[in-house]
Amino acid sequence: MIRTGVQKMARGLCQIMGREISKGNFNTNIGQQMTPRGTLQLPWSSINSVRTMAVLPWPFSFQPRDFSLPNSSWGSDMRRLYEHYNSQCEVETDDGEKKWGVWRRLPSYNRSLKYTTGGVYLSKIIQSKARLFTRNIREQGAAFEYVVFVNKQEQKCVCVFQAGHLLEGPPGHVHGGAIATMIDTVTGTHATYLSGPVMTANLNINYRSPIPLGSTVLLTCSLDKKEGRKTFVSCQVTNTDSSKLHTEATGLFLSITMGHLLGG
């Protein structure tokens, strides 16, 4: 029972910190992945040759909506890029067995792991109604439509992002804060995938060219370096054929311990 509880919790941890991680073999060796400092490590080496398994936001037992799947609001660019990466998520071997491809789609839910933190500020009402910032609007296509894919071999990550009409800043264009939100989300997801649970320590964002409202863009993230607890990730936001740079950014993320995660 204890082991089952740890396993459930570990699955839930993939959804915390606003990051979205799909892990195929969480059931196998999560115990060994806990360091003496309690840091949950999610090494690339542990996610081979397994099939997709949805990560439930613990302690839910029902299957929540995965917001990263296509819906009727997605435009042609969004669908085309989704298919481009999704088709490379699974390959068939010579003996007919299906295996992971070079890319992996990460599911995305609207609620992080629930537990009691926040002291006096976090009332039960707020806690029960809380929703992930990027998934807080139910109307499809109105706000953030996005799907994240990670590439193990190249240690990079892409996000296809369609910006809805509720994200306006300058007239007809996406708010700088909405762009920063997607950069934080995707660089943070990538850092989590590389280093386990992290907190954002720094974001340095250069806005080069406004993003028209309603358009689809690509966020491409790569690992710059890792130094102890620090993971440095860079990110470029471009149009769908990568010919135009809209925004570029760097992110610094600090690995955190179970103590941090549990409100310590």
Catalytic residues: 184
CB 216 within 8 A of CB 81: yes
**What is the smallest separation between the CB atom of 66 and a copy of itself, expressed in angstroms?**
18
**What is the smallest separation between the CB atom of 126 and a copy of itself, expressed in angstroms?**
4
**What is the smallest separation between the CB atom of 177 and a copy of itself, expressed in angstroms?**
3
Of residues 87 and 209, the one with the C-beta less far from a copy of itself: 209
Of residues 88 and 215, the one with the C-beta less far from a copy of itself: 215
Residue 76 C-beta-side C-alpha neighbours within 13 Å: 0
Other Cβ atoms closer than 10 A to 61: 7
Phi, psi values for residue 253, rounded to 5°: -125, 140
Of residues 47 and 217, the one with the C-beta less far from a copy of itself: 217
Of residues 101 and 214, the one with the C-beta less far from a copy of itself: 214
Residue 14 C-beta-side C-alpha neighbours within 13 Å: 27
H or E, element range at 72: none
**What is the smallest separation between the CB atom of 176 and a copy of itself, expressed in angstroms?**
4
Gap between the Cα atoms of 210 and 187, Å rounded: 20
Gap between the Cα atoms of 206 and 203, Å rounded: 10
**What is the smallest separation between the CB atom of 214 and a copy of itself, expressed in angstroms?**
4
Of residues 24 and 214, the one with the C-beta less far from a copy of itself: 214
Gap between the Cα atoms of 55 and 45, Å rounded: 19
**What is the smallest separation between the CB atom of 198 and a copy of itself, expressed in angstroms?**
10
CB 9 within 8 A of CB 58: yes
Gap between the Cα atoms of 103 and 84, Å rounded: 10
Of residues 47 and 81, the one with the C-beta less far from a copy of itself: 81
The residue to which tokens 């089952």 are assigned = 4
Gap between the Cα atoms of 223 and 219, Å rounded: 14
CB 85 within 8 A of CB 103: yes
Gap between the Cα atoms of 85 and 89, Å rounded: 7
Q: Which chain residues interact with a copy of itself by CB under 8 A?
A: 16-18, 111-119, 121-123, 125-127, 129-134, 136-137, 142-143, 164-178, 180-185, 188, 199-207, 210, 212-215, 263
